[in-house]
Amino acid sequence: MSGSRASLPSVNETPLQTLTQRELQALRGAAVWYAKYHAGTVAAHAAEKVAYAVDEREEYLDLVAALHKLGVRIRVPDALVEVASAA
């Protein structure tokens, strides 16, 4: 899919209630894969104070929190737990 871009509407424009069970399960599965795949990278930059690393950390922790609300438990890397508790 070279050169194609995704168009992402606001979350408010696509309420979760409109998703079928299969679509919601697919979304959960993709989010879990993403969280597990990027855990090491985010943890490796956990102590960095640059804006990019801070944003990456916060976005990752928001994803984990959202998955938790959907009933999915993701183990947060120790380095991120330490940084989050120090904040």
| pLDDT (tens digit per residue) in 36-67 | 999 999 999 888 888 888 899 999 999 999 99
pTM above 0.85, yes or no: no
What mean pLDDT is reported for the chain? 83
Q: How far apart are CA 63 and CA 60, in angstroms?
A: 5
**pLDDT band at 8; cut points 50, 70, 90:** low
pLDDT at 2 over 60: no
pLDDT of residue 12: 64
